[in-house]
Amino acid sequence: MGESRQSYLVAAASAVSLLRDPAVAASWDKPSALVEFSVAGLAGHLAHQLVRVADVLPPNDQVQEPIPLIEHFTRSPWVQAGLDHESNLSIRRGGEASAAAGPAVLVERAQALLEMLGAALAAEPDDRVVHLPWAGWSLRLDDLLLTRLVELVVHSDDLAASVGLETPELPTSVIDPVVELLARLAVHRHGATAVIRTLSRAERAPATISAF
Protein backbone atom coordinates (compact mmCIF):
# COMPACT_ATOMS: atom_id res chain seq x y z
CA MET A 1 0.00 0.00 0.00
CA GLY A 2 1.29 3.47 -0.89
CA GLU A 3 2.46 5.94 1.74
CA SER A 4 -0.48 8.32 1.21
CA ARG A 5 -2.95 5.53 1.91
CA GLN A 6 -1.07 4.36 4.98
CA SER A 7 -0.91 7.94 6.29
CA TYR A 8 -4.64 8.38 5.79
CA LEU A 9 -5.39 5.17 7.69
CA VAL A 10 -3.08 6.16 10.56
CA ALA A 11 -4.85 9.53 10.87
CA ALA A 12 -8.26 7.90 10.59
CA ALA A 13 -7.42 5.39 13.32
CA SER A 14 -6.26 8.24 15.55
CA ALA A 15 -9.50 10.12 14.87
CA VAL A 16 -11.62 7.10 15.78
CA SER A 17 -9.65 6.73 19.01
CA LEU A 18 -10.30 10.39 19.80
CA LEU A 19 -14.02 9.99 19.09
CA ARG A 20 -14.06 7.07 21.54
CA ASP A 21 -12.61 9.14 24.39
CA PRO A 22 -15.19 9.64 27.19
CA ALA A 23 -14.48 13.38 27.16
CA VAL A 24 -16.18 13.64 23.76
CA ALA A 25 -19.40 11.99 24.91
CA ALA A 26 -19.35 14.06 28.12
CA SER A 27 -19.32 17.31 26.10
CA TRP A 28 -21.59 16.06 23.30
CA ASP A 29 -24.21 18.83 23.48
CA LYS A 30 -21.83 21.69 24.28
CA PRO A 31 -20.45 24.27 21.84
CA SER A 32 -17.18 23.29 20.20
CA ALA A 33 -14.07 25.37 19.57
CA LEU A 34 -15.39 26.04 16.06
CA VAL A 35 -17.97 28.78 15.62
CA GLU A 36 -21.49 27.41 14.98
CA PHE A 37 -20.42 23.77 15.56
CA SER A 38 -21.50 21.74 18.58
CA VAL A 39 -19.14 19.06 19.85
CA ALA A 40 -21.55 16.49 18.41
CA GLY A 41 -21.57 18.18 15.01
CA LEU A 42 -17.79 18.49 14.96
CA ALA A 43 -17.43 14.82 15.94
CA GLY A 44 -19.83 13.89 13.16
CA HIS A 45 -17.85 15.95 10.67
CA LEU A 46 -14.61 14.31 11.76
CA ALA A 47 -16.10 10.83 11.37
CA HIS A 48 -17.49 11.83 7.97
CA GLN A 49 -13.95 11.91 6.59
CA LEU A 50 -14.16 8.10 6.53
CA VAL A 51 -17.63 8.17 4.99
CA ARG A 52 -16.44 10.40 2.14
CA VAL A 53 -13.74 7.94 1.14
CA ALA A 54 -15.97 4.88 1.43
CA ASP A 55 -18.64 6.55 -0.71
CA VAL A 56 -16.37 7.05 -3.74
CA LEU A 57 -14.73 3.62 -3.90
CA PRO A 58 -17.50 1.69 -5.72
CA PRO A 59 -17.10 1.84 -9.53
CA ASN A 60 -18.81 4.87 -11.04
CA ASP A 61 -19.47 5.61 -14.72
CA GLN A 62 -19.31 9.36 -14.03
CA VAL A 63 -15.54 9.34 -13.49
CA GLN A 64 -13.85 12.06 -15.56
CA GLU A 65 -10.30 13.20 -16.16
CA PRO A 66 -9.00 14.12 -12.68
CA ILE A 67 -8.36 17.77 -11.92
CA PRO A 68 -5.22 18.99 -10.09
CA LEU A 69 -5.36 19.08 -6.30
CA ILE A 70 -4.99 22.87 -5.97
CA GLU A 71 -7.78 23.37 -8.49
CA HIS A 72 -9.99 21.16 -6.33
CA PHE A 73 -9.66 23.68 -3.51
CA THR A 74 -10.07 26.76 -5.73
CA ARG A 75 -13.29 25.31 -7.13
CA SER A 76 -14.71 24.45 -3.67
CA PRO A 77 -16.93 27.32 -2.47
CA TRP A 78 -16.48 26.61 1.26
CA VAL A 79 -12.76 27.48 1.15
CA GLN A 80 -13.27 31.25 1.15
CA ALA A 81 -17.00 31.47 1.88
CA GLY A 82 -18.45 32.95 5.07
CA LEU A 83 -19.99 30.89 7.85
CA ASP A 84 -23.49 31.61 6.53
CA HIS A 85 -22.74 30.47 2.98
CA GLU A 86 -24.81 27.47 1.94
CA SER A 87 -21.68 25.35 1.49
CA ASN A 88 -20.70 25.84 5.14
CA LEU A 89 -24.26 25.50 6.38
CA SER A 90 -24.44 22.19 4.55
CA ILE A 91 -21.19 21.02 6.20
CA ARG A 92 -22.54 21.81 9.67
CA ARG A 93 -25.88 20.14 8.93
CA GLY A 94 -24.05 17.07 7.69
CA GLY A 95 -21.98 16.87 10.87
CA GLU A 96 -25.07 17.09 13.06
CA ALA A 97 -26.84 14.45 10.96
CA SER A 98 -23.88 12.08 11.24
CA ALA A 99 -23.91 12.47 15.02
CA ALA A 100 -27.68 12.30 15.48
CA ALA A 101 -27.72 8.73 16.84
CA GLY A 102 -25.27 9.61 19.61
CA PRO A 103 -21.58 9.10 20.38
CA ALA A 104 -21.62 5.32 20.79
CA VAL A 105 -23.25 4.73 17.40
CA LEU A 106 -20.95 7.24 15.71
CA VAL A 107 -17.87 5.46 17.05
CA GLU A 108 -19.24 2.04 16.08
CA ARG A 109 -19.87 3.18 12.51
CA ALA A 110 -16.50 4.92 12.25
CA GLN A 111 -14.66 1.82 13.51
CA ALA A 112 -16.47 -0.39 10.98
CA LEU A 113 -15.56 1.99 8.16
CA LEU A 114 -11.94 2.10 9.29
CA GLU A 115 -11.69 -1.68 9.15
CA MET A 116 -13.34 -1.80 5.73
CA LEU A 117 -11.12 0.93 4.30
CA GLY A 118 -7.95 -0.77 5.54
CA ALA A 119 -8.64 -3.67 3.20
CA ALA A 120 -10.28 -1.68 0.39
CA LEU A 121 -7.51 0.90 -0.07
CA ALA A 122 -4.84 -1.79 -0.22
CA ALA A 123 -6.67 -3.34 -3.17
CA GLU A 124 -7.05 -0.15 -5.20
CA PRO A 125 -4.66 0.40 -8.14
CA ASP A 126 -2.10 3.19 -7.88
CA ASP A 127 -3.73 5.16 -10.70
CA ARG A 128 -7.31 4.92 -9.39
CA VAL A 129 -9.46 7.97 -10.14
CA VAL A 130 -12.68 8.61 -8.20
CA HIS A 131 -15.66 10.84 -8.88
CA LEU A 132 -16.77 13.22 -6.12
CA PRO A 133 -20.57 13.45 -6.42
CA TRP A 134 -20.77 16.27 -3.88
CA ALA A 135 -18.36 18.36 -5.98
CA GLY A 136 -19.10 17.31 -9.54
CA TRP A 137 -15.53 16.49 -10.59
CA SER A 138 -12.97 13.72 -10.24
CA LEU A 139 -9.65 13.38 -8.40
CA ARG A 140 -6.91 10.83 -8.18
CA LEU A 141 -7.74 8.64 -5.19
CA ASP A 142 -4.46 9.54 -3.48
CA ASP A 143 -5.22 13.26 -3.92
CA LEU A 144 -8.64 12.76 -2.35
CA LEU A 145 -7.01 10.94 0.56
CA LEU A 146 -4.68 13.89 1.06
CA THR A 147 -7.66 16.26 1.30
CA ARG A 148 -9.21 13.94 3.90
CA LEU A 149 -5.89 13.70 5.71
CA VAL A 150 -5.91 17.48 6.16
CA GLU A 151 -9.48 17.34 7.46
CA LEU A 152 -8.66 14.55 9.91
CA VAL A 153 -5.61 16.33 11.32
CA VAL A 154 -7.17 19.79 11.53
CA HIS A 155 -10.48 18.66 13.00
CA SER A 156 -8.88 16.24 15.44
CA ASP A 157 -7.11 19.28 16.87
CA ASP A 158 -10.42 21.19 16.92
CA LEU A 159 -12.25 18.37 18.68
CA ALA A 160 -9.51 17.79 21.24
CA ALA A 161 -9.45 21.52 22.05
CA SER A 162 -13.23 21.49 22.37
CA VAL A 163 -13.29 18.81 25.07
CA GLY A 164 -10.13 19.65 27.02
CA LEU A 165 -7.83 16.97 25.60
CA GLU A 166 -4.33 17.24 24.21
CA THR A 167 -4.12 17.24 20.43
CA PRO A 168 -3.39 13.66 19.29
CA GLU A 169 0.26 13.07 18.45
CA LEU A 170 0.73 11.86 14.90
CA PRO A 171 3.84 10.65 13.07
CA THR A 172 5.72 12.77 10.54
CA SER A 173 4.33 10.58 7.77
CA VAL A 174 0.95 12.16 8.57
CA ILE A 175 1.98 15.67 9.57
CA ASP A 176 4.47 16.42 6.78
CA PRO A 177 2.05 16.06 3.84
CA VAL A 178 -0.57 18.09 5.70
CA VAL A 179 1.87 20.94 6.38
CA GLU A 180 3.10 20.81 2.78
CA LEU A 181 -0.40 21.03 1.32
CA LEU A 182 -1.45 23.82 3.68
CA ALA A 183 1.70 25.74 2.71
CA ARG A 184 0.96 25.26 -0.99
CA LEU A 185 -2.59 26.50 -0.49
CA ALA A 186 -1.37 29.49 1.53
CA VAL A 187 1.06 30.44 -1.26
CA HIS A 188 -1.69 30.05 -3.86
CA ARG A 189 -4.04 32.27 -1.85
CA HIS A 190 -1.66 34.93 -0.48
CA GLY A 191 1.46 34.71 -2.64
CA ALA A 192 4.92 33.40 -1.87
CA THR A 193 6.22 36.68 -0.42
CA ALA A 194 3.51 36.80 2.25
CA VAL A 195 4.22 33.24 3.32
CA ILE A 196 8.00 33.70 3.34
CA ARG A 197 7.71 36.90 5.40
CA THR A 198 5.42 35.26 7.92
CA LEU A 199 7.83 32.36 8.39
CA SER A 200 10.99 34.46 8.54
CA ARG A 201 10.27 38.14 9.28
CA ALA A 202 7.68 38.73 12.00
CA GLU A 203 8.06 42.51 11.70
CA ARG A 204 6.85 42.42 8.08
CA ALA A 205 4.40 39.55 8.33
CA PRO A 206 0.89 40.07 6.94
CA ALA A 207 -2.13 39.68 9.20
CA THR A 208 -2.77 36.13 8.00
CA ILE A 209 -1.57 33.47 5.61
CA SER A 210 -4.39 31.09 6.41
CA ALA A 211 -4.82 28.41 3.76
CA PHE A 212 -8.62 28.57 4.17
User: Which is it for the CA torsion 84, 86, 91, 93, positive or negative?
Assistant: positive
pLDDT tens digit sequence for 80-119:
655 565 656 777 787 888 889 999 999 999 999 999 999 9
**Helices 172-190 + 192-200 axis angle, to 10:** 120
139/59: higher pLDDT: 139
Percent of the chain with pLDDT over 90: 75
**Helices 172-190 + 141-163 axis angle, to 10:** 100
Taking alpha carbons only, the member of 108, 113, 104, 144 closest to residue 128 is 144
Query: What is the pTM (predicted TM-score) of this model?
Result: 0.92
Contact status, residue 32 vs residue 42, Cβ threshold 8 Å: yes
> Mean of the pLDDT values across residues 128-150?
95
Domains and CATH numbers, the chain: 3-204 (1.20.120.450)
pLDDT tens digit sequence for 150-170:
999 999 999 999 999 999 999
